[in-house]
């Protein structure tokens, strides 16, 4: 088995047909399996799936366990040499997965790879890297998350990709604002400064060695 294609679904009845129909052309020449984990959907997706695609291995959860846990369930039973985490709203272009597997077989130092994500009109998806991200891009995205989406949930989302340099400083800024010691304006200025430092630190860390750079930004291939 070359690839296990893992799809997490929640009320995706209108998305699954296009997603599944794109797989044969995208994985041409490969031996693959499709595992779908359904997180307690209430639409007609599961009945349709069982009737139209009986070859798909289906895991039905009694409640919504979230994206990460559902993928771990699928990974636990996957048999492929590689695992592809595919969103149910995505479609594979012809030969995409075939090319990725061939590239991974040759690039022994790389542990993970991502295809280039494009919109239906062929333009690159705004938050998918078509090349190495620049410090300006990281700073702009960090500022957007911190200022416009300055909630605890937004911070947790940001923390997953920006790294740890700003974590302690964020806590200080947040606690200071809540206690009334600082104004919101001063807090925002502080977070802007922290964001710039964190982005520079992140870029510096990613570029420390050629091997680590290849692993982190393997999607450029």
DSSP class per residue in 128-178 = S-SSPPPHHHHHHHHHIIIIIT-SHHHHHHHHHHH-STTHHHHHHHHHHHH
| 174 part of a folded domain | yes
* DSSP structure string for 66-114: -HHHHHHHHHHH--SSEEEE--TT--PPTTHHHHHHHHHHH-TT-----
Within-domain flag for 215: no
Query: Which domain, by its residues, includes 151?
Result: 135-206
- On whether residue 112 sits in a domain, the answer given is no
- The domain tally of the chain equals 2
The answer to whether residues 11 and 99 belong to one domain is: yes
pTM of the model: 0.61
Same-domain status, 161 and 88: no
Residue of 154, 37, 29 lying closest to 88 (CA atoms): 37
What is the reported pLDDT for 179?
43
pLDDT in tens, 110-159: 888 888 888 888 887 766 655 556 777 777 777 776 666 555 454 455 44
Tell whether 182 is covered by a domain.
Answer: yes
Q: Same structural domain for residues 99 and 142? A: no
Does 42 map to a domain? yes
Q: Is residue 84 part of a domain?
A: yes
Say yes or no to pLDDT of 107 above 80.
Answer: yes
58 and 148 within one domain: no
Which residue, of 54, 87, 106, is where some domain finishes? Answer: 106
Its sign, for the CA torsion 201, 207, 209, 215, is positive
Does residue 199 carry a pLDDT above 90?
no
| pLDDT band with cut points at 50, 70 and 90 for residue 108 | confident
Q: Is residue 176 part of a domain?
A: yes
Note the pLDDT tens digit of each residue in 25-39: 999 999 999 999 999
> Is there a single domain that holds both residue 11 and residue 92?
yes
**Domain harbouring 95, CATH code:** 3.90.550.10
Residue 154 lies in a domain: yes
């Amino acid at each position: 088995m070359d690839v296990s294609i893992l799809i997490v679904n929640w009320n995706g009845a209108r998305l699954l047909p296009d997603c599944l129909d794109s797989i044969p052309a995208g994985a041409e020449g490969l031996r693959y399996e499709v595992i779908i984990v359904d997180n307690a959907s209430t639409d007609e997706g599961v009945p349709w799936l069982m009737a139209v695609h009986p070859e798909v291995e289906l895991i039905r959860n009694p409640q919504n366990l979230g994206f990460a846990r559902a993928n771990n369930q699928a990974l636990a039973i996957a048999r492929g040499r590689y695992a592809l985490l595919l969103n149910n709203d995505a479609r594979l272009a012809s030969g995409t997965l075939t090319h990725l597997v061939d590239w991974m077989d040759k690039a022994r130092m790389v542990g993970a790879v991502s295809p280039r994500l494009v919109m239906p009109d062929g333009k690159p998806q705004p938050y998918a890297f078509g090349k190495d991200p620049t410090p300006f891009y990281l700073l702009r995205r960090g500022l957007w998350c911190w200022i416009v989406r300055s909630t605890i949930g937004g911070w947790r989302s940001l923390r997953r990709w920006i790294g740890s340099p700003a974590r302690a400083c964020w806590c200080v800024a947040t606690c200071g604002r809540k206690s009334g010691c600082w104004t919101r304006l001063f807090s925002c200025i502080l977070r802007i400064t922290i964001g710039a430092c964190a982005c520079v630190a992140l870029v510096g860390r990613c570029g420390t060695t050629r091997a680590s750079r290849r692993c982190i930004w393997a999607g450029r291939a």
